[in-house]
Structure 1
């Protein structure tokens, strides 16, 4: 009988297996199912990948092994060529079928997990990317057991993906994605929120079930500035409603001691997967090249050669930053051109939109012509969605992306290239590496995926996820201030005493704002000093330049979190860009303005030769290269500063100035109107929801005059469909697709 490694080699290398070879492999697999089911599953996955190689007389035996491993989704998918020939097996398969989702079958561990949820258990699950954890969310909703459900995911892109999956249940549930939407009094409600939106939403009905996707983001030890927001959201929901919960994450070994017992939960850890991933250590093959003087160029050259060999399969290339994504994908296009690779003729609809609304010089256009996509946190939502759609449909062959591959999007590929070894300037740890590796192979499509390591993988270590609101050591001020006095574990710490010493009125405002506590205290102090002498700078609705500068400088100086990266943004630049955005209300104008400014910018005078003629700062960049740099910077600014940071800051200071003006008997300003305008790309209030759904603002502006102002945002989509506005002649094809996809 062959051993484990020999069996895998035979399945890969032999063109066919005779009876003895097929039977011997089946014998080994059967034996392993009893003593090492992980290895047995790997053999079965590889057997499915090479099914045609088996001797026909052994296929029934292999079918029984597939069934014994609980691979019921594959038995259903491949029922034309894999047939269960025994009644007990057929019964077991049907037991694993969904009661609510047509033609869906659960694998053994999925079914076990579902039973826990159906029994009312709180479940914390750690399982691989290919486990199928998200399918159980839809199963729970399709069962209609709960009236009001909150689903928390880390990105708006993931939430919109979930919204599309759940649209089929709109007769039973209202899907709520914005904090301005009210819950339905007659239907059930599914709240699709980031943690920040949970904390801002004032109208929750009785919540019965909550889901947190990527729950490892609760950890205060993983250097995530949004950890406190997620902890606040979970603490509030548990304290207020005592709902059943389902926390999902990958590759986690343990959570804070005592949490499971406190909430009567089950920690469900499994390595069960319907996909196998193989590792190829490229860094070993080219160790001398990768450590030589031309390290960067050598590494890129070997990457491009590998991608050229893999061009008939799909590959995701992990990059350390958005800038790296842009430059590496652009260099790959140049490599393909040098190797006389033929551009595609697919003519992706996104191309026309980019040409009309961004720039004809953006390197993304060249990328798409060669079936190359890019994905990172700086791109606009509708662009990200389109690129992932093109990739998932098989049209794009290559996807260069940042850590969004881990947490920002649900996709996988036959091949994963672990090309860069850092994330946010820090080394990739084993946890993140495991999540990157987990994208290799796609359940129900690729039985086996491959990860190509261009760097030595991090050392395996135990992953413990701490839950700060529960353990409270360490804990940030903005989370500690939210915790009820009787639930604070150590009331004698200086941190807690300082919070208790905040005046009650100030404390309530600070607590409601959910931002940096010390920073808010400082802003209270400054505004109380300035209210009489600088009242005109404080009392505004739509600001002039000096009013905006006063408030944003306050925010920059006091609300930035320690260690937060701001480059290339500066305080002065933020004021200038925000004000100009308010005037121009157009991303293309911002890009053009930035390009013209940089093209005319001169290098600083040298100290050695102060009187020498000054030369252009960007003289070494072509117009195309400079335009790409401007696009990236403006998109990053839009995503990070305009869609999140600036509106949040304005809302925080708005509440503080309202409180202080009330103390002084003065009329307060109202920054919320301007904050909402910035956050929603200056779209009309009732149309902003279309932006949430991934409709580009260019399309929304074309519809604006045709949709009445008094139509509620919940009814806008039906109005568009009922009046056939998604076929409006002024819309380009890309915009029509986006509207039809609602």
Structure 2
């Protein structure tokens, strides 16, 4: 196989007889070992211009024999026999116009039409998400819940499913009511499933990246996803489809109990070449000093060679992505490389609303960008659009690229060997990074460049804690019915059983660290009289009230061993209070910039970049996720205690919602969900009545064509028009 692939790559042109010989060898290999034969076929398709086209019918028959039907359409190959033409027609979707399934997609599509639930492990390039659309396009299910791990993925899915809006209402926010006249598609994170109170029925459930159910992969959101899955199964008994990559199995007994089939396949329509760069530099790569410089120089030399090919560079953290991208930019300038003349409309927006000094501007002009979880949603979606359409070619990214978006590249560079500061990339993570190389219908062959040894293979069996219960956290166990608990004698269950029923219900609904909630409850009971004014506030808190309540959350609602450095409790209170007062990301950037200059040894250029990174991280992680959740839990516990004591409780819900929605007018918050920048929302808000609900707001913008307003930047206009 390797010799044949080498010949296909290195030969410039094949005669009729050479073409026949290669096609014949490929066909024989398929009969002997289908996986090896398929790899050769992929290289033939990639290098198809080299082959004699008078033998295209022979090639078409080989493509058809392994079920690569989408490539028949892409390459405009004509089948020779009636039987093969019938098989092509049978693989053509009757639900999605113009879509043709490959063989294993069609197999799964047919399984989904039976009464079986499906759990699928397949490569990134398999096309698992097409099956999601297939489910929706069948119009067999009225209410469908799709759970994905990130808001970026949900936004991407929303854009794909906009074409079904005549049949389904797309629900993204927990304040949206389901439609009574047509179907509903709930595009939620697990947190939002647990918060949503208006489910009337759920007919089909889809969980993307379902390996996040596992309690063994150190994902802080595992509990939340387990509770969401368990709740929907228990209450509505929907059909379900779980999908993810590189998984060997699931909890024993799950398939039997839930009428499910676990299906693992390595079937792929793309090939992946691995190049072990580190082997040529043994003992020369490192993280400090000269070894660090050599490793970076080798990376930059490689990127310069690949400058016109889409390339993802895996970095361990947002800091690393920014550092390496800036160092590469300096390298290009030294080499005399000039920036491209491509129009990049987000630059004007960055200059106006973030900073003219942000290094991302210079990067974009050179066809480079960064992608990580700290950036605002509209920025990340725009960068991915630029990358997918070729406006930018080289993307320095973090682990968010593994599970946060659906994009692939001709080349993937495994440069850093860690996730964050202390966790090493394991084989599962590496497989997911590697899986971004090559893309069905676009890149037949992807290339992975390893700057580190490939992690040792470890078989991934996804445990499903609410089913297996070994291990299981208190936060999941507390939601399991008594007759479903496997070990009723465990110390863990005895602790939960010892909690009074009303407290157990309170902690269960809050879905956070149970022992911390219990300790917080006792703390508030001991201070409700002496600190009533600090606890019981409405609307907007004073500094002291916010300091007290956020301090309680920080002290009690964080699991042991959780590290928030460089954030501190006192700084978190200050920046939250200041942001609630200013309601402005630019002010947060300026304050963070001053803080960095005063407390860290940074030059002004680096301080600007770090201030923007930290501010966006604070906005995404703290303001839009952690603080609202904390405040809601403290709110529920103080209300519980105040009612016990006959005292007036506070109500933090308005303030928590305001922070989560970036202080955007309630009925306009859905626009931020749709990837519209805050600046554009501020410009159109006076044109939209406050009493319109979220769905009417979108209709109002379309009807009045508010995206054509003169004071909108081109970027803002585009984000409004393309997302609504």
Choose from 487, 491, 509 the match for 2:488. Answer: 491
Q: Are 2:688 and 1:691 equivalent residues in the alignment?
A: no
Choose from 76, 91, 94 the match for 1:99. Answer: 94
Q: Are 2:625 and 1:644 equivalent residues in the alignment?
A: yes
Given that residues 427 and 456 in structure 2 are in contact (C-alpha distance below 8 angstroms), is that contact kept between their aligned partners in structure 1? yes
Matches within 5 A, 1:57-96: 57-79=54-76, 82-96=77-91
In 2, the alpha carbon distance for the partners of 1:639 and 1:510 equals 25
In 2, the alpha carbon distance for the partners of 1:89 and 1:312 equals 39
Q: Which residue of 2 aligns with 1:387?
A: 383
For residues 435-486 of structure 1, what are the alpha-carbon distances to aligned partners after superposition, in whole Å with 9 as ceiling and x for unaligned? Answer: 1111101110111110011111111221111111111111111110001111
In 2, the alpha carbon distance for the partners of 1:505 and 1:243 equals 29
In 2, the alpha carbon distance for the partners of 1:261 and 1:294 equals 57
SS at match of 1:738: helix
In 2, the alpha carbon distance for the partners of 1:14 and 1:194 equals 50
Choose from 556, 559, 581 the match for 2:557. Answer: 559
In 2, the alpha carbon distance for the partners of 1:351 and 1:449 equals 30
Choose from 248, 252, 261 the match for 2:256. Answer: 261
Matches within 5 A, 1:164-563: 164-290=159-285, 294-424=290-420, 425-541=422-538, 542-563=540-561
In 2, the alpha carbon distance for the partners of 1:17 and 1:704 equals 63
Work out the number of aligned pairs and report it: 720
- Cα deviation, residue 34, structure 1: 2.4
Q: Are 2:4 and 1:23 equivalent residues in the alignment?
A: no
Given that residues 592 and 614 in structure 2 are in contact (C-alpha distance below 8 angstroms), is that contact kept between their aligned partners in structure 1? no
In 2, the alpha carbon distance for the partners of 1:513 and 1:699 equals 34
In 1, the alpha carbon distance for the partners of 2:252 and 2:443 equals 38
In 2, the alpha carbon distance for the partners of 1:214 and 1:562 equals 27
SS at match of 1:290: coil
Choose from 551, 566, 569 the match for 1:568. Answer: 566
Choose from 644, 650, 654 the match for 2:635. Answer: 654
Distance change >3 Å, CA 683–CA 56, structure 1 → 2: closer
Q: Which residue of 2 aligns with 1:137?
A: 132
Choose from 577, 586, 591 the match for 2:575. Answer: 577
In 1, the alpha carbon distance for the partners of 2:128 and 2:251 equals 22
In 2, the alpha carbon distance for the partners of 1:223 and 1:489 equals 23
For residues 212-265 of structure 1, what are the alpha-carbon distances to aligned partners after superposition, in whole Å with 9 as ceiling and x for unaligned? Answer: 000000000001000000000110011111111000000111111111111111
For residues 473-516 of structure 1, what are the alpha-carbon distances to aligned partners after superposition, in whole Å with 9 as ceiling and x for unaligned? Answer: 11111110001111010111111111111111111111100010
Q: Which residue of 2 aligns with 1:55?
A: 52
- Cα deviation, residue 20, structure 1: 4.1
Matches within 5 A, 1:656-735: 656-735=637-716
In 2, the alpha carbon distance for the partners of 1:727 and 1:336 equals 39
SS at match of 1:379: coil
- Cα deviation, residue 59, structure 1: 3.0
In 1, the alpha carbon distance for the partners of 2:700 and 2:282 equals 61
Given that residues 148 and 188 in structure 2 are in contact (C-alpha distance below 8 angstroms), is that contact kept between their aligned partners in structure 1? yes
User: How well do the aligned residues superpose, as a CA RMSD in angstroms?
Assistant: 1.2
In 2, the alpha carbon distance for the partners of 1:304 and 1:589 equals 35
Give the TM-score taking structure 2 as reference length: 0.98
SS at match of 2:128: coil
Q: Which residue of 2 aligns with 1:33?
A: 30
- Cα deviation, residue 56, structure 1: 4.1
- Cα deviation, residue 121, structure 1: 1.4
In 2, the alpha carbon distance for the partners of 1:587 and 1:349 equals 20
Give the TM-score taking structure 1 as reference length: 0.96
In 2, the alpha carbon distance for the partners of 1:548 and 1:288 equals 52
In 2, the alpha carbon distance for the partners of 1:371 and 1:625 equals 21
For residues 386-441 of structure 1, what are the alpha-carbon distances to aligned partners after superposition, in whole Å with 9 as ceiling and x for unaligned? Answer: 00010011111101000011100000000000101111221111111011111101
- Cα deviation, residue 627, structure 1: 0.9
Q: Are 2:159 and 1:161 equivalent residues in the alignment?
A: no
Distance change >3 Å, CA 705–CA 7, structure 1 → 2: same
In 1, the alpha carbon distance for the partners of 2:434 and 2:184 equals 36
Distance change >3 Å, CA 731–CA 458, structure 1 → 2: same
In 1, the alpha carbon distance for the partners of 2:495 and 2:53 equals 76
In 1, the alpha carbon distance for the partners of 2:705 and 2:237 equals 44
- Cα deviation, residue 660, structure 1: 1.1
In 1, the alpha carbon distance for the partners of 2:216 and 2:461 equals 9
SS at match of 2:79: coil
For structure 1, which segment, 290-299 or 423-432, has the greater mean C-alpha deviation from structure 2 after superposition?
290-299
- Cα deviation, residue 24, structure 1: 3.0
SS at match of 2:392: coil
In 2, the alpha carbon distance for the partners of 1:582 and 1:437 equals 42
For structure 1, which segment, 35-44 or 639-648, has the greater mean C-alpha deviation from structure 2 after superposition?
35-44
The runs of at least 4 aligned residues of structure 1 exceeding 6 Å deviation read none
User: Which residues of structure 2 form unaligned runs of 5+?
Assistant: none
- Cα deviation, residue 118, structure 1: 1.0
